[in-house]
Structure 1
Amino acid sequence: MIVRRAETAGFCMGVSLALQKLETELAKKEGPIATLGPIIHNPQVLDHYAHLGVRCLTAPHEAHSDERVIIRAHGIPQRLQRDLEQTAKTVLDATCPKVKRAQMGIARKLREGCTLLLFGEKDHPEVRGLMSYAGEDAFVFGEFDELKQYPFQPGKRYCVAAQTTQDRNVFAEIVDWLRMRLGEDLPVLETICDATRERQEEAIALAREVDAMVVVGGYNSGNTRRLADVARAQGCPTVHVETPEELNPAQLQGAQVVGLTAGASTPKAIIDAMQKKLEAL
């Protein structure tokens, strides 16, 4: 089987920086370390650090007074950060710089009197963090149809933003629709990161040229799921698995050329192993 591997597959800048921060703290050997929530969305990476003694907390009150706690790459709500600072020995922020920029941009628009319309997954940790900067009137929607049913209020000022890993093409359609409804002067926060755009564009291009696509990465990783979505949208049979062991060769029956890509939190070792498995079919 011929495998065409996406050049952009694997860790993005935000994931790499977060893991570098964690590795730096581990190397100091200055006592226990924890993260508030999974530092990235990849079970294999989380298992690796768990074996090194890194605890994964679900809430600030679980932190010990002697622990250094690292804020996950997706960021956390402001209230949780304040609570964490009251319980942990030290709080280290590993929020992705692109997510942090989105948080600050949303906070600025709130101060200017805008009501936020956020395109994102309501229950995603990044979105929960973003919404904490947006005020009580903010509205988050995961589907275009949800937005179309939103009760806009005359005279109210709105702005629109997106979760950093959302589909850029869908967001562009949303912006066009909102500007027709609310006016061309609608403030738009360009919060979708370049890494997301590049990965999605390459997945689309690959899907149009191969017999099938394989997307590797955590099932709870939003950017990985969207890579599979944009590939399927091209009419290309697409398989999303977390590890090479999960791939059933029957899922690729009849395919001679297969495209391979991976989410922004998928380690290179897993992508390499998947490529070897595909080439051996």
Structure 2
Amino acid sequence: MEVVLAETAGFCMGVALALNRLDKLVESADGRPIYILGPIIHNPQVLKRYAEKGVVMVDRPDQVPGGAYVVIRAHGITRQVEDSLRGRDVRIKDATCPKVKKAQLLIRRHTDEGSELLLYGEADHPEVAGLVSYAANGFYVFGSEEELLARALSPDKRYILAAQTTQDRVLFDRIAARLTGDENLDVTVLHTICDATKLRQAEAKELAASVDYMVVVGGYNSGNTRRLAQVVTDAGTPCRHIETIEDLDLDELSGHTRVGVTAGASTPRRLIDEVLGRLESL
């Protein structure tokens, strides 16, 4: 069996920066407790490793005791939560991905001018919650082109179209073209999808066309990993999204001679290497 690994598999810049900041804090905290508001990234194996080092994950600012360090996760937090943190006696370390932070500030700047936000993303995703909190004049979150078309947009209003940073670039561009091509609508498009996401999806699609089976490695709660698997599936290649080597069903690989492997932006290299090792041993 031939195994081909995507060049872009594994940590993106934003994830690497967030974990690097947390690692340095763990080394320099001198016994001061460290808390994270929500998961630093969407990978349970990484979260377990930090929990073993004493890092505590909480859901609300009031769960962080006075004097403790609190780390803002790579996905970012809402403006309201950040304001609450800054009003308390805690030491803040901001590990928000720079691409997410840029998207937040773009949304704030453009909606301050009176436009309503139309956001392409997952309504229950923490990054989305943070992004829409910067919308000054209302927002609407949609997960598909059909969902957006079902909403009546007014020719008397101005709109800003943006996306969660890990969304499908091809679908977003199609939605943007449709809205801006309507002469009755006033829509400004913000290009907030991360280039790393676009490159990973493009490479996954290209790799899928050259193999007869694909394995996508990453957390089941990772939005960008799920979309990689969807891109491959949409390309017509059999695909399995797994979190660790234990999830790999070897029976499914029977008869396949060329297998492609890619991984989400929050997937550690160790997990990728374990999958490669198992596949290459077949």
When normalised by structure 1's length, the TM-score is: 0.97
Map 1:31-110 onto structure 2 (within 5 A): 31-110=32-111
Indicate if the aligned counterparts of 1:4 and 1:258 stay in contact, CA closer than 8 A: yes
2:185 and 2:140 mapped to 1: Cα distance?
Answer: 20
Letter in 2 for 1:219: Y
In structure 1, list runs of 5 or more residues that go unmatched.
none
> What residue number does 1:17 align with?
17
Inter-partner Cα distance in structure 2 for 1:164 and 1:279: 33
1:257-276 paired onto structure 2 within 5 Å: 257-276=258-277
For residue 253 of structure 1, report the CA deviation from its aligned partner.
Answer: 2.1
Question: What is residue 141 of structure 1 aligned with on the other side?
Answer: 142
**Structure 2 letter corresponding to 1:272:** D
Asked if structure 1 preserves the Cα contact closer than 8 Å seen for 2:157 and 2:186, the reply is no
How far off its partner does 1:155 sit?
A: 1.4
Q: Deviation per CA, 1:7-65, whole angstroms, max 9, x where unpaired?
A: 00000000000001101111113311111000000000000000000000111111011
Q: CA RMSD in A?
A: 1.2
Structure 1 moving runs of 4+ over 6 Å: none
| Alpha-carbon separation, structure 1, partners of 2:128 and 2:46 | 22
1:217 matches 2:208: no
* Partner deviation per Cα, 1:106-149 (whole Å, 9 max, x = no partner): 00111111111100000000000000001352111011111001
The question of whether the paired residues in 1 share the 8 Å contact of 2:72 and 2:93 is answered with yes
Deviations 1:218-254 (A, max 9, x none): 0000000000000001100000000011101012221
Q: Helix, strand or coil: the match of 1:161?
A: strand
Which string of whole-angstrom CA distances, capped at 9 and with x for unpartnered residues, describes residues 190-233 of structure 1? 10001101100100000001010000000000000000000001
Q: In the alignment, what sits opposite 1:241?
A: 242
Does the CA contact (< 8 Å) of 1:218 and 1:242 recur in 2?
A: yes
8 A contact 1:121–1:141 mirrored in 2: yes
**Which amino acid is 1:11 matched to?**
F
Looking at structure 2, the residues matched to 136 and 155 of structure 1 have their Cα atoms a distance apart, in angstroms, of 14
- Percent identity, aligned pairs only, is 53
CA drift at 1:151: 1.6
| Contact 1:11-1:265 within 8 A present in 2 as well | yes
Q: Cα gap change, 1:270/1:88 in structure 2, threshold over 3 Å: closer, same or farther?
A: farther
- Taking the TM superposition and a 5 Å limit, the aligned residue runs for 1:179-218 are 179-182=180-183, 186-218=187-219
Q: Does the residue aligned with 2:181 lie in a helix, a strand or coil?
A: helix
SS at 1:181's partner residue?
coil
1:40 maps to a residue whose letter is I
The 10-residue stretch of structure 1 (173-182 or 94-103) with the greater mean CA deviation from structure 2: 173-182
